[in-house]
Amino acid sequence: MKRFIGILLAVAVVCTLIMGSGAGVASAAPYKIGILAPAVTHGWVAGVAYYAEQRCKELAGENKVAYTMYTSENAEQMTSQLDDLVGWGAQAIIAFPQWEGMEVPIQAAIDGGITVVNFDIEINAKGVYRVSGNNEDMGVQGANYIVDKVGKDATVVMLEVPTAGSVSELRKKGFVDTAKKIAPDLKISTYATKFTREDGLRDFADILTANNKIDAVYSMDDETSIGVLQAIKEAKRTDVKVVTGGGGCQEYFKMMPEDKDIWIQSALYSPMMVMDAVNMAVDVLDGKKIDPVKIIPTTIVDRNNYEKYIDPTSPY
């Protein structure tokens, strides 16, 4: 009898331990994750904010994360919001700064024990994680695409965007360096514009007036390219055979099969990449060993494969 009672007590203790362990898992607090993004000035930025929140919502539904999201107009405002996230108790922050001046506050957050995943434009901070596309490779792919479509001695207009800083510089470098290597006789004229369809339209209308013959346009951005295509249409020009882009704009994708006389191309730099940044933050908090930098390869989209990249839910 004593032996039987002893067995019952042992079973009870084991059950209590198992139930206690299970209760601990069920009640584990979700990770607190903050998102810092610029205010929406461009469709691509809107896409970044959308996909970051979508991924956080999915993880929140699994009780994996609780999140707070801020958008800001400048570095000063983003710094203030970073302080708010620190006060909230954020364990990880996804930071997507578009201005200089964020290095010091982000370094302070890292030094304070917060995991920071830098999305897109690189932050010079020790201990930061990073997810980005490959801006230089976008230029490489643009040069290869144009040479393939119009030849090695074509006349090309390159639209750079000085206000975009390193983004434009890297995309330009990839294009120019590759063009020199594979097509040294390519005739390249460079003009400045911005990452908006309005600027693309206005600036390229003037460029068309100044140039009687243009075989291809190396544009770095889908929305700029939408303006470029409108300018070509309004000017009734038939000489332009290639217009490149960059980003992943759904409206631009849908234009690709419509114009059989122009190869409309985009070097995919999808705002969906920010989901990888959220996943990286969770992996770090989970204690997983990961590479601190993830560079997502360039994918080329044109009329031959655009259907694979149509996303009816995307705001961009």
Give pLDDT tens digits for 76-96: 999 999 999 999 999 999 999
The pLDDT assigned to 20 comes to: 43
Query: Residues 216, 149: contact at Cβ < 8 Å?
Result: yes
Query: Residues 132, 120: contact at Cβ < 8 Å?
Result: yes
Q: pLDDT tens across 286-311, in order?
A: 999 999 999 999 999 999 999 999 98
* Rounded Cα gap, residues 102 and 35, in angstroms: 14
The superfamily CATH assigns to domain 135-268 is Response regulator (3.40.50.2300)
Lowest-confidence range among 29-33, 38-42, 99-103, 153-157?
A: 38-42
Q: Say if residue 1's pLDDT is above 60.
A: no
> pTM value?
0.81
Q: What angle do CA 255, 44, 197 make, to 5 degrees?
A: 55
Which residues are within 8 A (CB) of 10 and not within 5 positions of it... i.e. 6 or more apart?
none
155-160 vs 242-243, strand pairing mode: unpaired
> Does this chain's domain 31-133+271-296 share its CATH topology with 135-268?
yes
The pLDDT assigned to 270 comes to: 85
Q: What rounded mean pLDDT belongs to the chain?
A: 90
* The listed CATH number (3.40.50.2300, 3.40.50.150, 3.40.190.10, 3.40.1280.10) that belongs to domain 31-133+271-296: 3.40.50.2300
List the end-to-end C-alpha distance of the chain, in Å, as a whole number: 74
What band does 123 get if pLDDT is binned at 50, 70 and 90?
A: confident
Q: Say if residue 313's pLDDT is above 60.
A: yes
CA within 13 Å, CB half, 272 = 10
Rounded to the nearest 5 percent, the helix, strand and coil shares of the chain are 50, 20, 30
Q: Say if residue 226's pLDDT is above 50.
A: yes
**87 three-class SS:** helix
Q: What one-letter code names the amino acid at 47?
A: G
65-72 vs 31-38, strand pairing mode: parallel
Query: Residues 217, 201: contact at Cβ < 8 Å?
Result: no
At 206, list the tokens. 């003037």
The pLDDT assigned to 163 comes to: 85
Lowest-confidence range among 91-105, 173-187, 199-213?
A: 91-105
Q: Say if residue 59's pLDDT is above 70.
A: yes
Query: Residues 116, 109: contact at Cβ < 8 Å?
Result: yes
- Report helix angle 103-111 to 75-88, nearest 10: 10
92-95 vs 31-38, strand pairing mode: parallel
The pLDDT assigned to 32 comes to: 97
Give the distance, in angstroms, between the CA of residue 144 and the centroid of all CA atoms in the same chain.
Answer: 22
What φ, ψ does residue 113 adopt, rounded to 5°? 95, 5
What φ, ψ does residue 78 adopt, rounded to 5°? -65, -35
The pLDDT assigned to 61 comes to: 93
Domain regions of the chain by residue span = 31-133+271-296, 135-268
* Rounded Cα gap, residues 199 and 304, in angstroms: 28
For 134-156, what is the mean pLDDT?
Answer: 97
For 130-136, what is the mean pLDDT?
Answer: 94
